[in-house]
Amino acid sequence: MQFRDLGRQYTRLKPAIDKAVLEVMSSGHFIMGEAVPKLEQRLAEYVGVKHCITCANGTDALYLALRSWNIGPGDAVFVPDFTFFASAEVVAMCGATPVFVDVDAATFNISVDDLEKKIRLAQEKGGGTPKAIIAVDLFGLPADFNMLRPIAQKHGLLLLEDGAQGFGGSIGSKRACSFGDISTTSFFPAKPLGCYGDGGAVFTDNDEWADMVRSLRVHGKGSDKYDNVRIGLNSRLDTMQAAILDVKLTVFQEYELAAVNSVARLYGERLTDAIGKPSIPEGFGSSWAQYTLVLESAEQRAMLQQRLKEEGIPSAVYYPKPMHRQSAFAVVAAWECPVAERLSSTVLSLPIHPYMEPAEVQTVADVVNGL
C-alpha cells in the first residue's frame, strides 16, 4: 500500500499528461510558455480571486507574499507552532521574527485565543512590531478565517493564508486560497493538487501586491526583465509543470476532491470511535492532504506505527517537532504552546488519496481498531 499513490493517478491520466508534456517539448517554450498564463487564469477562477501568480514552489510563494508587503527586520509575524517548517522559515528569510502561536486541539489550526494572547505578549515584551498573521490550512482544512479576520483588523495585521495543503478546501461557498489578503499554495507532488516536480502559486485580489509579486518572481523586473527596479529572485513555474497541472486541475474538479472526501468519510465510519479521529467543523470542507489521528501517548503511537508497518501499511508523523523547538529558531523567544507540544508526540497520519480503494481503508481500519 502507498501513502499517497501517485502511480495510480498517473496510470489513469497517462494519455492526457503524456500529450500535454510532449506538446511543451515540441513547442520549445519551456519558460513562461502559454500553459502558464492559461493555468493562472483557471486557478484564479477556481479559487475565486482576481490574480493568480504561479512560482517555483510553495515556500517561494509565501516569501514573495511577505516581500510584497515589505516585511523585514523589526517586524513580528504570527505563525502556528504546529506546521511545516517553511511556514515560519519564510518569516526569518525576510529578517523578521516569527512568533509562534498554539493550535486548536480539534482542528490542528491556529488558535484564535492564543493568537490574541501572543499579540499582547509581543507588544508587551517587545517581540517586534506586529505586522502579519500566517494562518495555515493544515492537513487540508482551512483555518478559521471567520474568527481570524476580525482579529487581524482589530490589530491592523495583514492576513496571509498558507494554503499549501489547503487547495480545494472551503468555508461555506468560498474556496481555500481566497481567505487571506494574500493566499498561497504549493504544487509539490504529494499536495492535494500536485505537479511532477516543484511548483507554487500566489493568490490575491489586490492589484498592487500582484504587480509586486510578478516583479519579484523575475529578478525584480521593471518594464522588462533587463530593467531591474528591486532585488527579487528567479521563481517561475516551468511550462511543463503548468501543462501537467492543467490536466490535473480538471480531474481535481471533476472527481478527485469528491473521491478523497469519500475515502475520509469511509475512514470515519470504519474506524472505532475510541480513537482520536479528525473532525471537520460545520460549514467547512477539507481537501484531506492528510488523515491524522491523535493517539493517547507517544508509546501508543509507536506501537500503532509498528503494527501498521508489519502489515505493509505506511504511516507518517506530521509533525514530530513544534516550530519553537526547531534548532534553527532556537534564538527566538519561546512562548508556551502546550497543544502543539502534545500533538507532536501523539499524531499519526494514515494513507489517504483519491485513488484509495474501500478494501484498503478497511485493511488500515482493522489494524487501528485492533490497537
Ligand X SMILES: *Cc1c(COP(=O)(O)O)cnc(C)c1O
Return the range that interacts with ligand X (CB under 6 A); candidates 82-90, 234-242, 252-260, 321-329. Answer: 82-90
- Supply the minimum distance, in Å, between the C-beta of residue 365 and ligand X: 26
Among 44, 86, 119, 157, binds ligand X (CB under 6 A): 86
Among the listed ranges 78-86, 249-257, 278-286, 291-299, the one in contact with ligand X (CB under 6 A) is: 78-86
Helix (H, G, I), strand (E, B), or coil: what is residue 71? coil
Stretch that binds ligand X, among 52-60, 91-99, 275-283, 293-301 (CB under 6 A): 52-60
Q: Which is nearer to ligand X, 165 or 183 (CB)?
A: 165
Query: What's the N-to-C CA distance of the chain in angstroms?
Result: 20
How buried is 316 (Cβ within 10 angstroms: 0-12 exposed, 13-18 middle, 19+ buried)? middle
Please pick, from the candidates 162, 246, 256, 360, the single residue that binds ligand X as defined by CB under 6 A: 162
Q: CB within 8 A of 48, min separation 6: which ones?
A: 174, 175, 178
Is residue 165 within the footprint of ligand X (CB under 6 A)? yes
Q: How far is CA 229 from CA 66, 212, 220, 222, 225, in A?
A: 18, 11, 6, 5, 10
User: According to the binding rule CB under 6 A, does residue 198 interact with ligand X?
Assistant: yes
Please give the helix or strand (H or E) that residue 184 lies within, else none.
strand 182-186
- Give yes or no for residue 84 binding ligand X (CB under 6 A): yes
Binding span for ligand X by CB under 6 A among 19-27, 79-87, 117-125, 142-150: 79-87
Rule CB under 6 A: is residue 200 a binding residue for ligand X?
yes
CB nearer ligand X, residue 130 or residue 140: 140
| Nearer to ligand X among residue 46 and residue 319 (C-beta) | 319
The amino acid sitting at 36 is V
Q: Residue 190 CB, nearest distance to ligand X (Å)?
A: 8
Question: CA 166 to CA 187: how far, in whole Å?
Answer: 11
Q: Which is nearer to ligand X, 83 or 111 (CB)?
A: 83
Least distance in angstroms from the C-beta of 339 to ligand X: 17
Choose, by CB under 6 A, the member of 58, 80, 130, 278 that binds ligand X. 58
One-letter identity of residue 227: D
Longest dimension (CA), the chain: 64
Nearer to ligand X by C-beta: 90 or 332?
90
Query: CB atoms < 10 A from the CB of 149, how many?
Result: 16
Measured from the CB atom, the residue of 188 and 271 that comes closer to ligand X is: 188
**Cα dihedral 102→106→112→117 (10° resolution):** -40
Least distance CB 56 / ligand X (angstroms): 8
- The residue of the chain with the least Cβ separation from ligand X equals 58
DSSP letter string over 280-331? --TTEE---S-EEEE-SSHHHHHHHHHHHHHTT---B-S-SS-GGG-GGGTT
87 binds ligand X (CB under 6 A): yes
- Residue located via cell numbers 506530521: 318
89 binds ligand X (CB under 6 A): no
Binding site for ligand X (CB under 6 A): 57-59, 83-84, 86-87, 136, 162, 164-165, 186, 188, 198, 200
